[in-house]
Structure 1
C-alpha cells in the first residue's frame, strides 16, 4: 500500500510540475522579458526574410550548378562548376561585367555630387521651398523604363532635343547610339540624372537633423560658409552619405531598365550590363543554369560592395 501511495504521490508531483511549467511558459508569453519580447517581435520578420530572401538565394545557388536549358528538353543535370568555367571563357560576360562596373564608378559619384548640390539648394532658408523639393521627387518617381524612353528621344540623331540644341549653338549633332562611347555617355548621363534625386532626398533628410545652433555658433566665431560646410555640414552628413551610397551602388550594379530601353545593349554589346546579360540568357535563351550562375556573380558583387561600406561605418564608429 505504501508503495502504491508513493507511486500516486510521485505522479501527482509530476503533474504538478508540468502544470507549473506550463503556467510559467504562459506567464512568460503574457508578460515576457526583453529577450523573449524581442524574439517574438522579430519572428514574423525572420520568417518573411527566410521566404523572400533566403530560400530564393539558396534556390539560385542550387540552379547555378545545373545544366538546365528549357530549349533542349533534356532534364536538369548536375554539372558542378561548369557554368562558372564557361563564364571565364565568355567574352560577352566580361564585357557586360566591365560595363556594369564602369557605370557604377561613373554614376554613383556623379549622382552624389549632383544630389548633394540639390539637397543644399532645397535646404536654403528661403520662403518658398516647395517647388525645389517637389522637383526632387519627379525624377525619383519616374519609372526607370519611362526615363530610358524619354532620354532615348532626347538623344535621337534626327529629332532629338540634344542635337537640336547643339545645332542652335553652332555645333554639329551626333549619331549618339551608333557610337559605343557616345551611347555609353548618354546612358551614364541618364542614370546620373535619375539617381541624383534619390541621393538628394536622403541627404536633405540628413541636413534637417543638423542643429542650427552649430551654424549660429560658427557665425559668431567668424567662420565663412565654405568653412562651415567642410567642418560642420560634411562631417555630420557622412553617415547619411554612406547609407545613400550603399543603396545607390547596389542599384547601379543591377542596372537594367535604362540601357535596355535606350540602346538594348548596342551597338553590339558595348552598352550591355550584367543584368541585361542575365535577362538574355534566362528569358530569351531559356538557359536557367547559366543565367543563375551569372546572377550569383551579381549577388556576390553586391554583397562585397555592401561589406566594404559596412566596414567603413563600423571603422568610423570604432574610431569614436
Structure 2
C-alpha cells in the first residue's frame, strides 16, 4: 500500500518554519497515496515563487518553469500524454499577475488539469511585496501607506472564464484540504483550487489567527448548497467576500478539451529517413 512518504523525494524543503506550504505538500502526497498512483504516472508542473519550489520536493515527473508560464507547459504535456495525472502548483503572485491571462484561457479550454494556487497574499520569494491577492490596507515595502487596492476576486473570475471545478481550501485544515484536492483530481476537466496559506515571514496581516477568524466553510454559511448552480456560487462569493472554503462550483457534465480535440500520436522518428516535403505534408495532415 502506498504511503504519502513515497511521493516525496529526499530533498528537504527550505520553506520557512511555520509556512503553510508544508501542509499543502503533505495533502498532495496524501491524495496521491490514496489514489495509489505510480510515481511515473504523475506530472507536477510549477512556476516561480516559494510555492513553486514544490516541483523539486515531489517524487514524480515535473518541470520548474518560468514565471507565470506553468499552465502553458502543463497544457502542452497534457496534449502529448493525456493519461498522466497532471497537477500544476503556483502562487498568487505567479498565477494572478503575469500568469493571469494564461490561467483564464486554460480554464476556458477545460483541459483535464488540477491547478493548485498557494495563496499567501504576498510576494514571499522576493521579500514581501504586495501581490494581486493582497488585502486592502496591507502594509508592504511597495505599499508603505497600505495597499489601496482590493484583491482580485479570482474564484468568481474562474467561474466566469469557464472553469468546471472551483474550490477553496485552507492549508492549516489538513483533513479538509485532502478532501478538496481529492475531489479536484477526480473531476474530469479543469479543476482550480485556491488554497489560503499563511506567510509567517512577510505577511503579518493575514496570519493564522486572522484566517481562523475570517475564513468560513460553506456549511457554516449555507444549510444547503448546490455547487452546480453558477448563480448560487456567485452569490456565495459576494456574500463572504470570497473568504469561504469548500467546493464552490462544479459542472459535472462538462467535456474536457482532450475529448473535444483528441491528442495526436506524432512520432517524428518514423520520418527520419525522409526529411523532405513529404514529411511536412504528413505532419500537416496530423494537425488539420
Shorter-chain TM-score: which interval? Answer: under 0.3
**Higher-helix-fraction structure:** 1
TM-score (ref. length: structure 1): 0.20
**Higher-strand-fraction structure:** 2
TM-score (ref. length: structure 2): 0.22
Choose 1 or 2 for highest CA Rg: 1
Of the two structures, which has the highest relative contact order with CA contacts closer than 8 Å and spacing of 6 or more? 1
